[in-house]
Amino acid sequence: MVENSLSFLLFQVLDLPPIQELSTLFLYTTNLVLLGFGLVFTLRHFVLLRLPDIELSSSIRYRIVIIPFLTSTSIFLDLLTRLSPEIQPLYQSSQPIILLLIGATSLLLYQDLLYEVKEREDSKLQQLRNQHQVAILAEQLERYNRIRALHHDWKNQQLVLQGLLQTQRYHEAIEQLRGQMNWQEKEILEHSSDPALNLLLQTKETLANQQDTFLEITCSLGPYQSLDPQVTAVLIGNLLDNALKATKYLQSKQDRWIHLTILVEQGRLSIHAVNPYNPKIKFADGQGLGIPNMKSLVNTYHGLYQGRGLDQLYQSHILLPITKTRPAVW
């Protein structure tokens, strides 16, 4: 119907004669068909092809072409009956069939597009599952290699310590033990140089392991040694609590993963968390645990908080400026 309206408008702009003769009808129909194919070309090449990761099937492409063709046929028959009233009964009998075909084709096109979108979302979710499953296996392999390396180094250190004791070099043996203790403490602080933040992350890792959730942490504070305790407890703690609570209700263990990123970049502290969730399960009053307190603290630091769910993934992003003026992050 859009091309029909455009055709009438074009007739008015060009000051063409009214539709009373067969030549005028032919001119109008030609214009109608050209506009229809122009709209189809625009729809296919500038709208549908811009949908990300969706390959249109041949049935969808055919239906996109059939709909304007059926519409043009219906309009053409309607105009033809105005010039030849004797064929009006034929048009009246065929019009319901044409309208039924247009409606059925439009419905099938809509269903196919919904199916393509759902397939895209499922494929994206499965890709994320595979990526995090690979990450879990890679982390397990890394832990296994670290344990082997620790065992090997520990054995060598024990041999050195035994040699020092046998030769009664007790002072060197004490220094050797002290070095081993410092080395072990360094190994324990695997996430951050901030003891409070590191303890919080290790505690949440233990909780995640207890509920079969893979927690991946990327932390880099740059030149800063520690965070404000409020930032550690209220922001990072609540983010992980909400993510753990959301993944706890997921039936598939492959979907139970959390990725937390804590970075200092461009003069800002960036805290980003992403995890799958079930949109049908809501927290009380539509809020996660401690979200009002998080927003209040972010406002105190003149920062930005954003949390939203999309494609069964919930993402939380916090930006806090690092300045020397009040209030300070560090």
The first and second tokens of residue 50, run together, are: 């811009």
Backbone angles phi, psi at 191, to 5 degrees: -100, -45
Taking only the tens place, the pLDDT of each residue in 287-322 is 455 788 888 888 888 888 888 887 788 889 998 887
285 falls in which pLDDT band (50, 70, 90)?
Answer: very low
The first and second tokens of residue 268, run together, are: 């800002």
Q: How many C-beta atoms lie closer than 10 Å to residue 260's C-beta?
A: 22
Q: Where are the alpha helices (DSSP H) in 17-87?
A: 22-42, 58-83
- In the DSSP assignment, the letter for residue 247 is H
Taking only the tens place, the pLDDT of each residue in 248-278 is 888 887 788 899 988 887 778 889 999 988 8
The Cα 179–Cα 172 span in angstroms is 10
The Cα 42–Cα 38 span in angstroms is 6
Residue 39, helix vs strand vs coil: helix
The Cα 258–Cα 240 span in angstroms is 8
Report which of 71, 66, 76 is spatially closest to residue 98, judged by C-alpha positions.
71
The first and second tokens of residue 120, run together, are: 């895209």
The Cα 105–Cα 62 span in angstroms is 10
The first and second tokens of residue 60, run together, are: 């969808």
User: Could you tell me the domains of the chain?
Assistant: 2-125 (no CATH), 191-321 (3.30.565.10)
Least confident residue range of 46-50, 154-158, 191-195, 306-310: 46-50
The Cα 22–Cα 103 span in angstroms is 30
Higher pLDDT, 159 or 264: 264
- In the DSSP assignment, the letter for residue 51 is S
Any residues with CB less than 8 A from the CB of 318 and at least 6 apart, and which?
235, 239, 269, 270, 271, 272, 294, 298, 303, 304, 305, 306
Taking only the tens place, the pLDDT of each residue in 135-153 is 767 766 776 666 666 555 6
The Cα 79–Cα 77 span in angstroms is 5
The Cα 66–Cα 60 span in angstroms is 10
Residue 168, helix vs strand vs coil: coil
